Amino acid sequence: MNERKIEIRENEPLAPLTTFEVGGPARYCVRIVCEEDAAAALSFAGEKGCETLILGGGSNVLISDEGFPGLVLLNRITGITVEESGGSVLVTAGGGENWQEFVDLCVARGWQGLECLAGIPGTVGASPIQNIGAYGQEASQAIAEVRCLEIATGEAVTFDAEECSFRYRESIFNTRHAGRYLVTSVTFRLLPGGAPVVKYRELAERLAGISLPTPADVRDAVIAIRAGKGVLVRTGFESFRSAGSFFKNPVLPRARFAEIEALLSEAGKAENWAWPLPGGDVKVSAAYLIQSAGFARGHYRGNVGISPHHTLILINRGGATAREIVEFAGEVRQRVLDRFGVALLPEARMIGFASPPFGCDREE
């Protein structure tokens, strides 16, 4: 069988391919629309002896000013299939499918399971990698399996949900197997006519006038909330050049949480800033820690700042460099560390840096 022809571009600008709109070029770049394209691209990378980077919607990355020295694969693998399975449906979507459009499709058909994840920018292929989540729902709660190509060999492999080892913003794909696989499709198990589970108070307040909210009601409420925070990347809505939430919400032992709570109570603690987890740990709002450390919404320095709508979102105000963003984020992180003893970890992936910023032990 003849190897599929693909177009490899050289020195391709990456800034226009990310929502932060910063970063240098890729040494090589290729658009893939099927597994055969991906296999051919991986073969090229092997011949050149260069590293690879998979880029979907470019919504959760910060690319260095130097760019990426290897091959960037733009995942544009599309296609959706549906299979009935008992009382549920198995919906398989290509890794390059637009996430927002995919959620809209599922909601339109009355399938429950992804409605709280509406409005998140990016692609389907990114959803299992960092186990995307919002408003009390995570992708892992609906994922049945993930199909991938192993980058080193080009061989196809499928993981079930248990094998993915999902945790808060984590999976095998961004921890012990980071950079090892390219996600070509994801299968979700959804419930036709299922009743949404509304856990977050902010969302519940939006739905207060609806006795039995549908997935569409929840989706609409989530979209309204995200639009109000300026994090909805959709035509007709105000948005900013950003990577979304720049830092992860830290998960702390209860004893450590109690110490921080005592510090905050001196200044009058806000409501809804911490969430108990099974096992005794507590997830804490990074946005609230940042605000309490002295950074208000709208604070900025030069070309970089904090969103006027949400403290956790760092924005490129126009013309920012990756270095400026890292320096600004480092200042925020250090202030939180000094005030509360909590080292915030970036949720945005750091790409192409000589050494991972913020003392992280790995670069994705």
pLDDT digits (tens, 9 = 90+) for 139-185: 999 999 999 999 999 899 999 999 999 998 899 999 999 999 999 99
**pLDDT per position as a tens digit, 227-243:** 877 666 655 545 688 98
In the chain, the amino acid numbered 275 is W
Residues of the chain with pLDDT under 70: 1-3, 230-239, 266-271, 359-364
Q: Kindly give, in sequence order, each residue whose CB lies less than 8 Å from that of residue 78, ignoring residues fewer than 6 positions away.
A: 33, 94, 96, 97
Task: Provide DSSP, 41-63.
Answer: HHHHHHHHT--EEEESS--SEEE
Annotated active-site residue in 147, 169, 206, 226: 169
pLDDT at residue number 361: 43
Annotated active-site residue in 36, 66, 327, 347: 347
169 catalytically annotated? yes
Question: Is residue 88 classed as helix, strand or coil in its secondary structure?
Answer: strand
355 catalytically annotated? no
Annotated active-site residue in 64, 171, 185, 245: 245
43 catalytically annotated? no
Closest C-alpha to 61, from 100, 121, 20: 20
Domains by residue range for the chain, with CATH: 8-75 (3.30.43.10), 80-149+183-228 (3.30.465.10), 241-359 (3.90.78.10)
pLDDT at residue number 5: 84
User: Across the beta sheet with 274-276, what order do the strands follow?
Assistant: 251-252, 282-284, 274-276
- CA–CA gap between residue 345 and residue 359 (Å, rounded): 9
pLDDT at residue number 14: 97
User: Can you read off the two tokens belonging to residue 310?
Assistant: 């949400």
- CA–CA gap between residue 264 and residue 251 (Å, rounded): 17
Locate tokens 């932060």: which residue?
20
pLDDT at residue number 29: 98
